[in-house]
Amino acid sequence: MKISELFNKGKTVFSFEVFPPKKDSPVETVYNALAELSDLNPAFISVTYSAGGTGGAKESTTLLASYVKNKLGIETCAHLTCMNSTADDIRALLKELEEHKIENILALRGDKNPDVPAVNEFHHASDLVRFIKVQGLDFCVSGACCPEGHPESKDMISDVLNLKKKVDAGADYLVSQMFFDNAKFYEFKERLRLADITVPVSAGIMPVTNKRQFERMIMLSGASLPAKFTQTFSRFEDRPEALADAGIAYAIDQIIDLISSGVDGIHLYTMNKPAVARKIAESVRSLL
Ligand code: FAD
């Protein structure tokens, strides 16, 4: 099923994201996590893609997405990045996805990585969206968006105008980067409305459940951290169990507020941790 159709059913689309194992670990290591996540009956599970950097092998994305769809019977979305690929590489991958009956692709540019030279055939995610659409293949194609602006963008306005190009190229819906301050997401939605971007937007929620993850979040994400968030984490940083509970409660609180405001979808970055996803899913199930 095309994920775009799920957004037409008048309910919040609640989905999960997983990542393939690192290169030296077999893909089977993620199967157990996927089986547990599928028990939670998400609308779909998306699988990230690594073009050859530090993440898993790129073939793993297709294998795991196929497993989700064809073995577990849950709808899936395969992520696909383009900046390190040629048009022929992408054509071959699209064929492979079709062969596995995968109907949904999250089309991304990918992060710039000094160790992996860019191929320079696709410069932006919008190029990939357009490329997939003109192949005449029957894929639902989504794109990423950053509620607080992409770190490379000079300002929010240019970022939203670039996002408009991605939607005009054919993106059927958008999935957001993680954020911890819902007010930033609502301001972003307002900017999208002004730019006449009307496709559904799923809100990316990352439950932060340990100190290392918290510190990485501060360093890497660029997302604003509200005082409520930093206070909670400073208070419990030396008590791992309390910190995990607080992180899960924070994510639940964000989700309840978003659902109450009529958000199109919630995309949970599960970090391949079904126990965390379970606590969150069970707490918000009746709201969905
Ligand atoms: P783009 O949409 O191309 O945007 C990148 C920058 O270029 C922005 O500053 C934008 O404003 C600008 N830009 C865009 N279009 C144009 C244009 N036409 N003209 C001029 N400027 C333009 N990375 C992975 O490697 N694998 C994954 O599986 C993965 N999954 C992700 C899932 C989600 C939900 C999100 C939010 C991100 C994910 N990423 C993943 C990270 C993503 O690859 C990075 O954020 C990357 O830096 C940008 O990707 P993008 O698709 O947003 O790029």
The pLDDT tens digits of the residues spanning 233-259 come to 899 989 999 999 999 999 999 999 999
Nearest CA to ligand 1 atom 11: 159
* Residue ID of nearest Cα to ligand 1 atom 53: 109
Q: What is the mean pLDDT of residues 262-279?
A: 97
Q: Which atom of ligand 1 is nearest to the CA of 178?
A: 36
User: How far is it, in rounded angstroms, from Cα 76 to Cα 42?
Assistant: 10
Residue of 49, 90, 142, 150 with the most ligand 1 atoms within 8 Å of its CB, for mutation? 150
- Look at residue 53 in the predicted model and tell me its pLDDT: 52
**pLDDT, position 58:** 67
Residue in 203, 196, 74, 88 with CA at minimum distance from that of residue 135: 88
Mean confidence (pLDDT) of the chain: 94
99, two tokens: 């062969």
Q: How far is the CA of 83 from the centre of ligand 1 (A)?
A: 10
According to the model, what pLDDT value does residue 213 have? 87
| pLDDT for res 218 | 72
User: Measuring from atom 39 of ligand 1, which residue has the nearest CA?
Assistant: 110
Distance 69 CA to ligand 1 centre (A): 25
Between the CA of 239 and the centroid of ligand 1 the distance, in Å, is 35
pLDDT at residue 217, as a whole number: 74
Query: What type of residue is 141?
Result: V
Nearest ligand 1 atom to alpha carbon 125: 3
- Dist CA 281 CA 106 (whole Å): 23
The tokens describing 70, both together, are 């064809």
The crossing angle, in degrees rounded to 10, of helices 156-168 and 182-194 is 60
The pLDDT assigned to 233 comes to 87
Q: Is the pLDDT of residue 54 over 70?
A: no
Place of tokens 């007010």: 183
**Ligand 1 atom 25: the closest Cα is on which residue?**
110
Phi then psi for 231, rounded to 5 degrees? -60, -45
Residue 52 burial by Cβ neighbours in a 10 Å radius (0-12, 13-18, 19+): middle
β-strands 13-18, 76-81 pairing: unpaired
Instruction: Give the helix ranges, DSSP H, for the chain.
Output: 3-6, 31-39, 58-66, 87-99, 125-134, 156-168, 182-194, 211-216, 227-236, 240-260, 274-284
Q: What percent of the chain has pLDDT over 70?
A: 98
| Per-residue pLDDT, 52 | 61
Measuring from each residue's beta carbon to the nearest atom of ligand 1, which residues come in under 6 Å? Answer: 48-49, 79, 81, 106, 108-111, 124-126, 144, 150, 152-153, 159, 162, 165-166, 175, 177, 204
Q: Which atom number of ligand 1 is nearest to the Cα of residue 80?
A: 28
- Distance between Cα 68 and ligand 1 center (Å): 25
Q: Give yes or no: 17 in active site.
A: yes
The per-residue pLDDT for 4 is 98
Torsion of CA 230, 113, 152, 140, to 10 degrees: -90
- Give the integer Cα–Cα distance in Å for 267 and 232: 23
Give 22-46 pLDDT, tens digit per residue. Answer: 877 878 889 999 999 999 999 999 9
Taking CA atoms, 211 is separated from 179, 240, 246, in Å, by 17, 8, 12
Which protein residue has the closest C-alpha to ligand 1 atom 40? 110
| Per-residue confidence (pLDDT) for residue 51, from 0 to 100 | 72
Residue 198 alpha carbon to ligand 1 centre in Å: 19
